[in-house]
A and B are shown apart, each in its own frame.
Chain A
Amino acid sequence: MSARDTDWDGVRLHVVTGKGGTGKTTVAAALALALAVGGRKVLLVEVEGRQGIAQLFDTPPLPYGERRVAVAADGGDVYALAIDTEEALIEYLEMFYNLKRAGKALSKLGVVDFVTTIAPGLRDVILTGKASEAVRRKNKDGSYVYDAVVMDAPPTGRITQFLNVNTEVAGLAKVGPIRNHADVVMSVIRSPQSAVHFVTLLEEMPVQEALDGIHHLGESGIPIGAVIVNMERSPVLPKGDLDAAAAGTLDLDQITHGIKAAGLEHDADRITAVLAREAADHARRTALEAREKARLADLDGPRYELPLLGDGMDLAGLYDLAQSLRNQGAA
């Protein structure tokens, strides 16, 4: 169907996780835009009730409903949905038990508190259940409503628990309707139609979390997608200079010479000293990034790299990230 080969042909549920602050929301949105290119319809879902998507697309807070938030290149559509646990729970009760009114009354009694606080496993079933419903939803003619669903998921520390709803619920409910529901959700998440992508920075803790997360998720049989290195900085110095900077053996006279040649006669020595110190920091930083990257090298799946956008994030930047994902085969 697709005009070009991508790494994820056949995948319809993309789950994006990563350590807090690494760019999950941003990358999920860019991926949704990338997948929508060429007239496809993609749903971007948010599950943590923080309205991160609305902020990113600069729209008012999303109600509990699917709204178009962006148009992709060549006319595809990105819809967004911020799943609200309470609304989704009531919808669930209505769908499965015909209990809409009860649902409303229950939320007054604090049942939603009960669900969200005491049994996070149940909350997760409701959230993942809503997402997999969107994945499976069909038009009258039998075609899928959404070509793909992208989820801005909880951070790595909670992702296995979040997606592995079956095991979570099993501890609480061994039989019964919620258990059956969890089984259906699980069959979507475990299928080759799903992929969990990990966003990371080239820093120790985010990489460690990604590696641990991939390990845990792999054990539970949930398909791992790509590792997406976000906010990568482009190299400024060639390798030889980096090594010299780290070792403190840069040719300072030559640098001073260059600085004078650029018209900074005055103070050239002091400037050189500052530049050399900054170069040494930069070299150590670059070495650390290379080490962290090497730790990711052994992983099986594809790895994409997204640049650090110097001027901060805006819509134009988001489209650039989407294009970059496409260029690397993510969509």
Chain B
Amino acid sequence: MRAFDIDRLIDDPRTRIIVCCGSGGVGKTTTAAAVGLRAAERGRDVVVLTVDPAKRLAQSMGLSELDNNPRRIEGVEGTGELHAMMLDMKRTFDEIVEAHSDPDRAKQILANPFYQSLSSSLSGTQEYMAMEKLGQLHRSGAWDLIVVDTPPSRNALDFLDAPERMGRFLDGRFMKLLAAPAKTGGRLGVKVLSAGFSMFTSVINKVIGVQLLRDVQTFVTAFDTMFGGFRERAQKTYELLQTPGTAFLVVAAPEPDALREASYFVERLAEERMPLAGVVVNRVHESSGLSGARSLAAAETLNERGDHPLAASLLRLHAERMQLSAREGRLRDHFTSAHPTVPVAAVPAQPEDVHDLDGLRQVSADLAANSAA
């Protein structure tokens, strides 16, 4: 197994973007914040783009106000600076609209009920807007290092796939069909399609009512100049992720599902030629010393004698921990044997949630300790 060296990564000035991905709840947000903090304390000017920080973590970083702009975090030691922001996906969407159409048209789009429902609930929007924001932060040139957290999706791969899917959808034939059925149907000259299509509009009309269809059509007409743009933007950020200045950190929990997701992701990164820096197995339970079996046997001995109940309980606790640790170790080994060249790091589970800079510092120190070990 290769040990992952976080300090080499963040000390290298060529590292400009670090993306933390993985399946839900494994510690992406925590890892992103911890890595950002460590990089800042080692002298870099860092911005961390978080998506859904735990309430107390957000509060302790002064992120309780969501304003879609980086804020400077107080309490960072050392020469660098740490800024952090929380993604506001609807705001980001609005900003794209505002930047790419004249004020009147933008106003018209933003007020459209269909746009409003789309911009807050179209699936993949969060992923798309996270990538969009990353692109913006990168283009601004204001940051020495950008650390990105990814949306809480069940599938880690959604981060890579959803923006493209959404772009395709927004730019797609389907939306245009909606706006101009007769014209498009005629041009395609496919009789079945246009027959199907008129049935489609009539069903939509019946089911949802004529008003929604009208909203959609107004929206599509106003949006017309922006079609094409979405896919292109998604494509650009995608390419940014393939450049050598980018590093992916795949975060996983020492559990079968999370490690399986991590595997998929690692394989996918290789296919896409996206640079993988390493896999962080977060919240592991390390233990050492007396084996679980011997510990349990010793506890039994004490129990039988009715002696030393405290020592017996502690031995039992230790045995459980050794078992857990062994189980997690096996899962990790399984992963490393399938991916022998991927650098892996383990971060111990803290007894409590990570909710302030000290907690983050602990996580990043634990992460850094992997390269020494």
Contacts and interface: CB of A to CB of B under 8 A. Distances in A.
Interface of A: 19-21, 93, 97, 99, 102, 105-106, 108-111, 113-114, 116-122, 171-179, 203-205, 208, 236-237, 241, 250-251, 254-255, 257-259, 261-264, 267, 270-271, 274-276, 278-282, 284-285, 288
A11 B24 CA distance: 32
B310 A111 contact: no
Interface stretch (B33-41, B142-150, B298-306): B298-306
A275 B290 CA distance: 10
B75 interface: no
A274 B200 contact: no
A187 to B, nearest CB: 20
Contact of A258 (B24, B206, B288, B311): B311
B321 interface: yes
B199 A117 contact: no
Given A19-B25, A117-B122, A204-B54, A279 B314 contact: yes
B200 A20 contact: no
B240 interface: no
Interface of B: 24-25, 54-56, 113, 116-118, 121-124, 152, 154, 169, 174, 193, 196-197, 199-200, 203-204, 206-209, 211-212, 287-290, 294, 298-299, 301-302, 305, 307-308, 310-318, 321, 351-353, 355
Contacts, number: 166
Contacts of B311: 254-255, 257-259, 261-262, 275
Given A106-B196, A204-B56, A278-B317, A177 B207 contact: yes
A-side interface mostly: helix
B246 to A, nearest CB: 27
B302 A262 contact: yes
B7 to A, nearest CB: 26
A241 to B, nearest CB: 6
A278 B318 contact: yes
Top 9 closest A-B pairs, CB basis?
A: A258-B311, A258-B308, A262-B298, A284-B351, A275-B314, A176-B209, A204-B353, A281-B351, A274-B289
Nearest to A158: B121
Nearest to B193: A109
A20 B24 contact: yes
Contacts of A179: 209
B154 A20 contact: yes
27 contacts: A102-B199, A110-B174, A113-B174, A117-B122, A118-B122, A119-B208, A176-B207, A204-B54, A204-B56, A205-B54, A236-B313, A237-B313, A254-B308, A255-B310, A257-B311, A258-B307, A258-B310, A258-B311, A259-B311, A261-B305, A261-B311, A262-B299, A263-B298, A270-B289, A274-B290, A288-B352, A288-B353
